[in-house]
Structure 1
Amino acid sequence: MTEHNTGHAARPLTLGRNGRTPRTLRNRLASAPMERNYGTVDGHITGQYIDYLVTRARAGLGLVTTEATYVRADGKGRTHQLGLHTDAMVPGLRRLTDALHAEGALAAVELNHGGRTAQAAVSGHKNVAPSPVPCAVAGGEVPRELTAGECHDLVAAYAAAARRAVAAGFDVINIHGAHGYLIHQFMSPISNHRTDEFAAPEHFLNLVIDAVREAAPDALVGVRVSVVEGPADGISAEEQVAIMAKAHLDRLDFLDLSAGSYDAGEWIVQPGEWKPGLLRDYATAYRRFGLPLGMAGRLNSPAVIEEVLGDGVCDFVSLARAIHADPAFAGGVLRGETYRPCIACNVCIDTLGQGQVTCTVNPAVGRSRVPLPTPGVRQGARVAVVGAGPAGLTAARELALSGAQVTVLDGGARLGGQLALAERMKSTPDFHRFTDWSAAENERLGIDVRLGNQVDSRDLGALVRETGADAVVLATGGTRPGAGFPGADLPGVADVRDWLAARPEVLHPDAGGDVPEAVTIWGADSVAMSLADTLADRGTAVLLVGPQEVLAPESGRRAKILAVPRLEQNPRVRIRLGATIEEYDGGRIRIAGTSRDGADSEWLDAPGSLLVSRSVLPLDGSIPAEDREAVLAREAGVPVVLAGTVVDRSPAIASNAVKSGYDAAQRIAAALAADPATPETEPAPRPYEPVELSMNGAAS
């Protein structure tokens, strides 16, 4: 993906006030303090994490920031979060800052304490907070209320961490005063019910600012601020500005604007349906303070970044998801280069509670391993990829980069497979960016794409003869299970995906298509949720019945943070979970619940079409994938590798499909590897790709 830019982002920015040594960012691009779980369990940085950040510095960022880094052990909120709580952290972080400086970037650390969001199960310590108000989203542990003396002890912990940051070589110290963590908890009426001097929302913040400045007199120091907390009973936009007006701003060098709290997570990591650059309307009020401003918030394209910088909304931008999806995004902003786009699916934030943070569109990050470049293949090697969904497109690109001549065949009319259907959903409007980028990559790499070409996977020999393939990747998504109840073959019953594919105009509000008056959806997976949410938004009455106990269990909380409440609150939407369809008579369904005796059964009116979402029933996993591949390879006469849900028993989501396609490509390339001893078979050189080290710094 490429876009023209006008150069505002490329201008250097010098920070430093009141006699402090100024430091210059080479451009206006900073990495935001995005948590990733790439550290060790005791807070040390790893080779994997250093390489991840250095890769982004090498791509051109002016300022590279660590994640929220805890200042004391009881403030740790993630299993593998970085710490600055002891002197033992300093040597590893010095290796990081030296490496960042060698790439021309300034190094920043964000100091944080989780407060009530930290949980004993993670930190090993009782959590503490301004008041004993639990954070249900974080786990619900009731924190112990800090005494006044303990508040001062925590201030000292911030100061000690700041001294360690200087010793570790950081140029910039960013104090985390946002997102519902400890400093923000002192500001918010939700979490601060005190009556002593710490009842004043700015008091703890000012003590921390003063202590950090005393501990790091020559460092650049800023504060990250949530311009709006989110909940109705939280800090309003106007109240937050008033709090910051009382902050010791003369001791700061910048403000970094973000938004939200744990109780309003959609503001911290914004959904794809929200407009890019959405915090610009809040940033204007902070210009009165005369401090340089950084800003986050859906800054996902060079165009929007140039706009907010060119309009003077902010002085630098804090980038998280865009450079996680591809460090080359920096080159896209600065020089108009091609980059892999973020699609705002929020898999990254949703995997934070499960382990290492991964990415839907970039399979090379967060997998506790070195994503080694796909091996070069022998000269003239040909590969046929069956399926143009996320798995097939990923495999095709990787193999083309390795030097193979790749043919992609798909029975559909356009790229993307089921992802192309998701592009039309209300909550996933950015998904088209992956398909558009893939199409451009296909053209750039000379991949032969043959749409409307249905391949019979039972006769791969014919495919091999037709394409001259030396290997085959099957990325067809697997066989669709039957609906599984009497009446499933009646008119009006259709697979959700077939129904959508046959009605391209239905979900385009501007296309003039008529939406159905009512539909019944069998299944409560993410596909069903997205379709129900989109149709209900356009006025369709929806009955949604599924065996799942919650809506879209395979999706993380942030991926459905807006859609689920909308469905639950819409009077035209009926939801019956934990229920199965036993029978359909053309206008009604008989459902059985999940009561202990299993005898509950009732008939419900089932208006409109009855749409079946595939993941109601699992794919057939009775035959191991490696056995199926062996059989197919014997029939085809060439290596065959399965990709996507045809092999992967994990949830059928785009993130898993892309990873599966990437792994399939590496297996095929290994089978077709060039002989390094034979010069004429050397593969074409690959363009630069990030290489990220494993937890121990070695390949695994």
Structure 2
Amino acid sequence: MEQNTRYAARPLTLGRNGRTPKTLRNRLASAPMERNYGTTDGRITEQYIDYLVTRAKAGLGMVTTEATYVRADGKGRTHQLGLHTDAMIPGLRKLTDALHAEGALAAVELNHGGRTAQAAVSGFKNVAPSPVPCEVAGGEVPRELTSDECEGLVEAYAQAARRAVQAGFDVINLHGAHGYLIHQFMSPISNHRTDRFGAPEYFMNRVIDAVRAAVPDTIVGMRVSVLEGPANGISAGGQVAITAKAHLDKLDFLDISAGSYEAGEWIVQSGEWKPGILAGYAQAYRQFGIPLGMAGRLNSPAIIEEVLAAGTCDFVSLARAIHADPAFVGGVLRGDRYRPCIACNVCIDNLGLGQVTCTVNPAVGRSRVPVPTPAVREGARVAVVGAGPAGLTAARELAEAGAKVTVFDDGGRPGGQFAFAERMKSTPDFHRFTDWSTAENARLGIDLKLGSHVDTTRLDALVRETAADAVVLATGGLRPGAGFLGADSADVLDIRDWLAGHPEVLAEPVDRAAMPEAVTIWGADSVAMSVADTLAARGTAVLLVGPQDGIAPESGRRAKILAVPRLQANPMVRIRLDTVIEEYDGTRVRVSGPGCPPEGEWLDAPGPLLVSRSVVPLDGSVAAEARDAELSLMAGVPVTLAGTVVDQTPAIASNAVKSGYDAAQRIAARLAIGSMDITDSMNSTDYSLNGAPR
């Protein structure tokens, strides 16, 4: 398709009722995705500016900051951006100037957390329309606002809008979605008032009026959730009715999203849900005759072109896709290659932990402006052992840096454990990473040798065979025995080995006759959760026993927001948590734990007993830096470890990819153009686990 025929590439002008128009150079806008890249007092940082400007350079028509709090008691994240004082203006002016220099419009989303804000984060008692706590956010009971205090908050939005214009923003978006303050006034869950602010549209309209009065000639829009999510919340029809009462003549666009804190699966959707999930809700908003933006699983150029060409919306709001790779913009506009988002939701789940990172893009959200992997000297050769996420990442980085890379793997296809993950019910988009990696291997000339076993105790032989100047080991590590009586039974298998030996259980379409009647899974990590959920959905009865006190504790809430409730509700699934297997006799397991008698309790354990990694962790007894040095001396060239064994972080794909990236940067630094002799560099610099010199 030629560029000039793509709907996404067409300009869009915003501005109604005599207001000075602003034109987006295309129909692509970044959504107001929170990232925790600011300072603790709400200021923007160089890291954050670099992140947003990089996406403007990629060609976005409009770049939007995250939900930005208008008053200090509305702050919901430790490092969230603020527009609560004039002191925020200079830093944001630096941002908007940089965005304008790249040809993008600059937008800011104004927000107040209301009942979702918590005193432990903001330092202030939270306030809300009614004293209804948000359990998901922390459960603090908010103080009910008086009528005068409601008006005070209206003024806070107006003053933040004034500051936004002074800071150089072209567009202001009012956050009326996702269960934040404006949405709280709309919702019957959180608004039980009997005064004028009890009408769901009243506070919203007071904010719209005040902001328009403060910035009469600025482009102003509002984001709404097309449905709240909970059964007792705002329905799809109810939200349309509320929006119909909005002072739309004072707005220049609407931007539709979905969900609330109590229905987080609608805010950031699972990979299980179809692309363009909100398209069916958009038509109802066309009646208002106002430009419409839309979010929701817009993860490919094809779906974006589809919704724009159909007139479903006028522009799209992109979050995860451009977080995973700003080059996605070029993919939409011109068909360029890009690194795909796999909808794992590590990004949103990191919000409560620190900076927002990405599984497939290890360069973002790691407390730094990304540092390119240094170019290696001409002719440098690297051998990578292991073609899982860590090995593929290391290989790509080193090949991009100019190395000739050979990858060895025992398996028959690249991707390692992704070969299983991409076929699980809850992670169907994971194949996009392996597909992209395979294409990148071909583009970069990486020599992938599948079905090739490497003896890691004889790395000198590998170096002689390949003439490698460096080696990356991305094999994960050693796995000890399962640790209970009877663990040597032929029916006790590593869960991954069992899946590899029974490809029929994941085949499509499902052959019910080929499915086992029952399995027992020892461990309750994310792998066990995914396998149990997938097998149960295919008709297999599952007994899940784990020492963890919750299912998949290493995963965030959004990554398991659909799978865990499904398991808990499925009558074919038995779950015993905080429980340890002591013995297996072939048909039963003896378990111990709270509620069990002193001698233990016997449970029927039909089918094979599948052991997950959470209860048989990788052997990390040798410190990674010591092992690096030992292996380097053995091989006579620099050797570094990649994979979760390096730093003993949870065995999830995100950590494996980051580890492979860091390993590549360590090796590239030692093979860099102009670097010292390899042997000298091995002896002179002690590298820490994150790749930085100590």
Q: Which string of whole-angstrom CA distances, capped at 9 and with x for unpartnered residues, describes residues 175-217 of structure 1?
A: 0000000000000000000011111000000000000101111
The code of the aligned residue for 1:366 comes to G
Task: Report the Cα distance in structure 2 between the residues aligned to 1:502 and 1:220, rounded to whole angstroms.
Answer: 59
Match of 2:565 in 1: 565
Partner of 1:587: 587
* 1:145-166 Cα deviation digits (max 9, x unpaired): 0000000000000000000001
1:305 aligns with 2:304: yes
What's the counterpart of residue 686 of structure 1?
A: none
- Residues 1:644 and 2:643 are matched in the alignment: yes
1:610-632 deviation line (CA, Å, top 9, x unaligned) = 10002213222222111111111
Q: Which residue of 2 aligns with 1:695?
A: none
Name the structure 2 match of 1:508.
Answer: 507
Q: Secondary structure at 1:183's aligned position in 2?
A: helix
Q: Write the distance in 2 (CA, Å) between the matches of 1:616 and 1:586.
A: 19
8 Å CA contact retained: 2:31, 2:318: yes
Normalising to structure 1: TM-score of the pair?
0.95
Matched residues in 2 for 1:515 and 1:580: separation? 27
> How much has 1:378 moved relative to structure 2?
1.1
Q: 1:553 is matched with which residue?
A: 553
- Count of aligned positions: 678
SS state of the match for residue 190, structure 1? Answer: coil
Q: Following the alignment from structure 2 to structure 1, what is the Cα–Cα distance between the partners of residues 329 and 224?
A: 24
Deviations 1:548-577 (A, max 9, x none): 110001000000000000111111110000
Q: Distance in 2 between matches of 1:313 and 1:43?
A: 36
Q: Describe the SS at the equivalent of 1:510.
A: coil
AA of the residue aligned to 2:645? V
- Structure with the greater relative contact order (CA < 8 A, sep ≥ 6): 1 or 2? 1
* Identity value in percent: 79
Q: Where does residue 40 of structure 1 map in the other structure?
A: 39
- 2-structure distance, mates of 1:627, 1:287: 63
> Equivalents in 2 of 1:374, 1:3: separation in Å?
34
CA distance in 2, matches of 1:210, 1:456: 71
Tell me the equivalent position of 1:83.
82
Distance in 2 separating the partners of 1:676 and 1:198: 67
Q: Name the structure 2 match of 1:213.
A: 212
Matched, 1:412 2:411: yes
Of residues 293-302 and 509-518 in structure 1, the stretch that sits farther from structure 2 once superposed is 509-518
Quick one: structure 1 residues 517 and 5, their matched pair in 2 at CA, closer, same or farther if it must change by over 3 Å?
farther
1:408-457: CA deviations, max 9, x gaps? Answer: 00001111101221001000000000000000000000000000011111
Matches of 1:645 and 1:598, distance apart in 2? 37
Alignment check: 8 A CA contact 1:3 1:303 kept: no
Contact 2:3 2:9 survives alignment (8 Å): no
Distance 1:560 1:150 in 2: 39
Which residue does 1:376 correspond to in 2? 375
Q: Describe how 1:491-502 pairs up with structure 2 within 5 A.
A: 491-502=490-501
**Are 1:540 and 2:573 an aligned pair?**
no
Instruction: Name the residue aligned to 2:168.
Output: 169
Residue 676 of structure 1 and its aligned partner are, at CA, apart by 7.8
Q: Does 1:531 align with 2:531?
A: yes
Asked if structure 1 preserves the Cα contact closer than 8 Å seen for 2:479 and 2:619, the reply is no
Task: Give the corresponding residue for 1:107.
Answer: 106
**How far 1:481 sits from its partner (Å)?**
2.1
Partners in 1 of 2:225 and 2:492 — Cα distance?
48
Tell me which residue corresponds to 1:446: 445
The answer for unaligned runs of 5 or more in structure 1 is 679-698
| Secondary structure of the structure 2 residue equivalent to 1:431 | helix
1-structure distance, mates of 2:134, 2:369: 36
1:537 partner letter: A
SS at match of 1:472: strand
Give the match's secondary structure for 1:604: strand
Alignment of 1:215-234 (within 5 A): 215-234=214-233
The CA deviation at 1:647 is: 1.4
Q: Distance in 2 between matches of 1:269 and 1:402?
A: 34
Secondary structure in structure 2 of the residue aligned to 1:385:
strand
SS at 1:264 equivalent:
helix
Cα distance in 1 for residues equivalent to 2:485 and 2:230: 47
Q: What is the CA-CA distance between 1:461 and the residue it aligns to? A: 1.1
User: In structure 1, what is the Cα distance between the partners aligned to 2:93 and 2:676?
Assistant: 41
8 Å Cα contact 2:510/2:538 also seen in 1? no
Match of 1:576 in 2: 576
Question: What is the CA–CA distance in structure 1 between the aligned matches of 2:2 and 2:323, rounded to whole Å?
Answer: 19
* Residue matched to 2:604: 605
Superposed CA deviations along residues 368-389 of structure 1, whole A, max 9, x for unmatched, are 0132111111111100000000
Q: Spell out the pairing of 1:99-138 with structure 2 (5 A cutoff).
A: 99-138=98-137
Between 459-468 and 151-160, the greater mean CA deviation after superposition: 459-468
Q: 1:163 to 1:600 in 2, by over 3 A?
A: farther
**Amino acid corresponding to residue 589 of structure 1 in structure 2:** V
CA distance in 1, matches of 2:307, 2:94: 34
User: Quick one: distance in 1 between partners of 2:646 and 2:594?
Assistant: 30
Q: Name the aligned partner's letter for residue 533 of structure 1.
A: D
- State the secondary structure of the residue aligned to 2:644: helix
Aligned to 1:12: 11
- The one-letter code sitting in structure 2 at the alignment partner of 1:59 is A
| Corresponding residue of 1:694 | none
Matches within 5 A, 1:657-696: 657-675=656-674
Deviations 1:624-656 (A, max 9, x none): 111111111111111100000231201010000
Q: Secondary structure at the match of 1:9?
A: helix
Structure 1 residue 6, shift from structure 2 partner: 5.0
1:4 and 1:302 in contact (8 A); partners too: no
Question: Matches of 1:245 and 1:425 in 2, distance apart?
Answer: 42
Alpha-carbon separation, structure 2, partners of 1:176 and 1:248? 15
Shift of residue 599, structure 1, vs aligned partner: 2.7
How far apart, in 2, do the equivalents of 1:251 and 1:460 lie?
69
**What residue is the counterpart of 1:625 in the other structure?**
624
The CA deviation string for residues 15-69 of structure 1, in whole angstroms up to 9 with x for no partner, is: 1000000110000000000000000000000111011000000000000000000
* Cα distance change on mapping 1:201 and 1:510 into 2, 3 Å: same
Question: TM-score when scaled to structure 2?
Answer: 0.96
C-alpha separation in 2, matches of 1:3 and 1:466: 47
Shift of 1:510: 1.0
Q: Which runs of 5+ in 2 are unaligned?
A: 678-692
CA RMSD of aligned residues (A): 1.6
Partner SS state of residue 125, structure 2: coil
